[in-house]
Structure 1
Amino acid sequence: MKALVFNGPRDVRYERFPDPELATDNSVIVKVERCSICGSDLHMYHGDNVGVANYSEGVEPFCVGHEFAGEVVEVGKSVHRHKVGQKVLASGGAPCGRCEHCLSGHTALCKHWTAFGLSTRLNGGQAEFVNVPMADLTLQPIPEGVSDEQSILLTDAMCTAYFGLTRTAMEPGDAVAVVGLGPIGLIGVELAYVLGASKVYAIDPVANRRAHAANLGAVALAPSQALPTIMEATKGAGVPRVFEASGAKSAVELAIKIAGRGSTASFIGLPQPDVQLPMLKVLYKDITIRAGVASVIDQWPHLIPLLQHGRLKAEGLFSHHMSLAQGTEAYRIFDAKEDDVVKIMMTL
């Protein structure tokens, strides 16, 4: 098959790769129809550390990508929910199905949860075909009324946005700040209004992303404007609910500065080692800190009805449409933030 293969930092190539086989009886093979690049893929692309993995050197080539949807073409004998010909979308990763958390129904806490497209342990879906383990949990039949673009967002970005936003413990009438307006942050802005926010401050250095947030009704601010504007508007109180969706050092620091006393701040951006919380400010402002990686599977029951009833649209996020064969250039554009890129859809 053809796939996008990681060969080292900033070296993702469209090339031949061995076809996947059913790895376990609970696996299926999916023929990928569309996929996308996630901001977290850039950490691998840059050769950074992701968890215990170091992508700077000596990595065996693997297929990249954890956001994909397509058609089931082969089914393991222990799979019960899926059949050949079914259109499906995938969770960004798979639980092991064996640890005590999986066996007790708490797959979000799986000790061995593995993301697609970070190593040969679980090759990714920016490829013509992909093996999907624990398919009865990891795959979701594409629901009626969900568009192609929404189906890709349900593989990670939309679920991470819902996870991160709801962990601020926001209630109807609350003011919310969203720091970082990539796709996850922009979906977070829309979701905040869906869930009853009275006002949303949307903060990002990129003008076109601020414009998108403003079209959703948010008060869109450049980082340099955020602190004085919010403190003036709140008479120095700050914001009670803060959703940080970047992971950048400056974004994390700003999130704590604009958070009010007794507030809750939720962090989902993947930080690098130099990112630290200013703990004295956290302590003196009595800020509740929430951080984690979303269990995509657990967010689907909340999000799919919102999409089907038109409450949530998540439109206009795919600024670029390219073929998988153009994947090397897609990564370059996405990394360089060229041409007002927000998110790239690749089709096969």
Structure 2
Amino acid sequence: MRALTWHGRHDVRVDTVPDPEIVNPRDVIIKITSTAICGSDLHLFDGYIPTMRAGDILGHENMGEVVEVGAKSPLKKGQRVVIPFTVSCGSCYFCGKQQFSACDNSNPATTSDMSETLYGYPMGGAFGYAHLTGGYAGGQAEYLRVPYSDVGPVVIPDGISDDQVLFLSDILPTGWMAAENAEIEPGDTVAVWGCGPVGLFAIQSAFLMGAHRVIAIDHFPRRLELAKQLGAEILHFREVNVREALWEMTGGIGPDACIDCVGMEAHGLGIDNILDTVKAHTFLGTDRPAAFRQAILSCRKGGRVSVPGVYGGMMDKFPIGAFMEKGLTMKTGQTHVQKYTGQLLRMIEEGKIDTTFMISHHASLEDGPDMYRHWHDHQDTYTKIILKPGLEKGAVQTQQEKIHEPA
């Protein structure tokens, strides 16, 4: 089969690789119909995530049609399914608490040693995201093996398009959990750093949970416009002092909740971010947490900080004094996708959540390497890319063109 494979920093290729096979009775094989490039994939593209190996298959936002079924899988051939990015057994201590991303059985001992060294405990498994998370092949490919198919896959009813439900695999539950972790109360003012896909879903979720105001912070005009269309007030961080602006907008109190959807590769011209960038490029540091620091310093006393943005190493210049003296609460973590998919699918069916507004491009799998480069370099116009293995190479389609195509 054909698949997108990682070969080093800024080097993604389309290779012919062996087809996946059933290796456990709980497995299924799906034929991929849609797979997206995630913002987290750009961390792999930039070489920030360790334990990637040349030839690893990328992709953790996947859906498709079941074509092979293990003896102990409840799924049937021909069913359309969305696959959560978290690989979870469903029966360990953590899965029993619906903390699916912390699964204790999905990351083989042969690949979990480094994450245990880095974080104190081994990480849970995930598709297409380095050997820190199990070394599972991703779904930016024609086919995908899905372990624990009795726990993860979401069966999609007829009459719903791939575009409407694909993001149940990751970014929609991630945005929802980000808002949930912010413990939003009716009437709250919520500030969201980063208006990429997760940030936009966090904004949408915050309003659904009762937020009175959401203030969105970014520097890409198209992303800010999408946030504004969702009802958010916007701040262009290159044009204003964000902390001063939030102070003024909240009458000197500060936001009730702050959500950092940026993660380890924050942009910015502040001295802290410049130092972070220098350290990262000279191997003296890892993450660039400028947005995270700003969220902590901007949040009101007694407020809540939610961090869905991905961080991977040791944070420098953490404002622990502000965090403690202001009495803040913080929640973070990889998304417990399986906990939310049923509820979110119902909300999509009822028309309460739109998942298609941020899609900018559809492209073939063969165009994948170009799409990685475009999204990395042009994030204002490439807001979300869906790869379709069945499309002809070069047949890149914008969302506007798709909307106006003949029925």
TM-score relative to the length of structure 2: 0.80
Which is strand-richer, 1 or 2? 1
Alignment match, 2:78: 85
Choose which of 51, 55, 79 in structure 2 pairs with 1:54.
51
In 2, distance between residues paired with 1:326 and 1:47?
21
Deviation at 1:174, TM superposition (A): 1.1
In 2, distance between residues paired with 1:106 and 1:183?
23
In 2, distance between residues paired with 1:210 and 1:103?
39
Alignment match, 2:247: 231
One-letter amino acid of the counterpart of residue 85, structure 2 = G
For residues 12-161 of structure 1, what are the structure 2 equivalents within 5 Å?
A: 12-49=12-49, 53-55=50-52, 59-80=53-74, 82-97=75-90, 99-102=92-95, 106-111=99-104, 112=107, 113-119=124-130, 121-143=135-157, 146-161=160-175
One-letter amino acid of the counterpart of residue 297, structure 1 = Q
Equivalent pairs: percent with the same residue? 34
Contact map agreement 2:179 2:202 (CA 8 A) in 1: yes
Worse overlay, 190-199 or 82-91: 190-199
For residues 153-232 of structure 1, what are the structure 2 equivalents within 5 Å?
A: 153-223=167-237, 224-232=240-248
Cα–Cα, structure 1 residues 6 and 134, in superposed 2: closer, same or farther, change >3 Å?
same
Structure 1, residues 20-41: CA drift from partner, whole Å, max 9, x if none? 0012110000000111011111
Contact map agreement 1:144 1:308 (CA 8 A) in 2: no
In 2, distance between residues paired with 1:131 and 1:272?
27
In 1, distance between residues paired with 2:206 and 2:92?
34
**Aligned residue pairs, count:** 341
Contact map agreement 1:165 1:192 (CA 8 A) in 2: yes
Structure 1, residues 115-134: CA drift from partner, whole Å, max 9, x if none? 11124731000000010000
Contact map agreement 1:143 1:304 (CA 8 A) in 2: no
For residues 278-297 of structure 1, what are the structure 2 equivalents within 5 Å?
A: 278-297=319-338
Deviation at 1:229, TM superposition (A): 2.1
Cα–Cα, structure 1 residues 18 and 149, in superposed 2: closer, same or farther, change >3 Å?
same
In 1, distance between residues paired with 2:304 and 2:14?
43
> What CA RMSD, in Å, does the superposition of the two structures yield over aligned residues?
1.8
Matched, 1:267 2:325: no
Worse overlay, 319-328 or 120-129: 120-129
- Structure 1 residues without counterparts, runs of 5 or longer: none
One-letter amino acid of the counterpart of residue 176, structure 1 = V
- Structure 2 residues without counterparts, runs of 5 or longer: 108-123, 267-288, 390-407
Structure 1, residues 49-84: CA drift from partner, whole Å, max 9, x if none? 3xxx334xxx2412110001110000000112x100
SS in 2 for 1:135: coil
SS in 1 for 2:300: strand
